Amino acid sequence: MTIHREGYISLFLAILFMAALYYGLDYAFPRMVLFYKIELADLGLALGLIVFVIVLQFFRNPTVKTPYNDAHIIAPCDGKVVVIEEVEEPEYFKGKRRQVSIFMSPFNVHVNRNPITGLVRYCKYHPGLYLVAWHPKSSTENERTTVVIQHPTHGQEVLFRQIAGALARRIVYYIKEGQPVRQGAEMGFIKFGSRVDLFLPLDATINVKIGDKTTGGETHIATFNV
């Protein structure tokens, strides 16, 4: 378990908040005792520590061992499966695909991972709104990044989309078009709760159901029909 690099500044700010709260209260209300001999400044320190721990757990980056398989499509993130349906994908495929959506709460690990091994055929960032992540239009109107990876062996493509939510105000991605990527490897990060949509071939076998919990880089979401 490590701390993700996207969290360094947030953790530094949390430490500053904790120190400012403690010394500010101690300066404004020196030696003010509330109850059970607990001073106001100590209570402020405890509150600051709680904030620090919350931020710390949000940016945790656990070690993941991806069970590599050419036919498997792996979960791109931790979270809960909230959508499984056949939809029209208008941006890249311009046709019908099977959509699987995973909602990430603020308590999930927010590292995003490649669902398959292959070549990045398409990668585009879209500015947009910040509707709640479960809103039906969040997939097409929110701030988002769309990535398509083509499998090197059987040539099938998977599109996945990082989508910002009401709290998520920063989408980070580390890949670009033409880059080879490995299944389960880190490709990006979304801050403070959101969702990731997968768009799969119509004949792919879905191995999860609504309400299932996923682990990024490990959970077997679907199987290619190859």
Q: Which residues are catalytic?
A: 194
Contact 84, 201 (CB under 8 A): no
Element (H or E) spanning 8, and its range? Answer: helix 8-28
Element (H or E) spanning 174, and its range? Answer: none
Cα atoms in the 13 Å half-sphere on the side-chain side of 129: 10
One-letter identity of residue 56 = L
Q: How far is residue 190's CA from residue 212's CA, in Å, rounded to a whole number? A: 21
- Angle at the Cα of 21 from the Cα atoms of 19 and 22, rounded to 5 degrees: 65
Other C-beta atoms lying within 10 Å of the C-beta of residue 123: 17
Structure-block tokens of residue 60: 């945790």
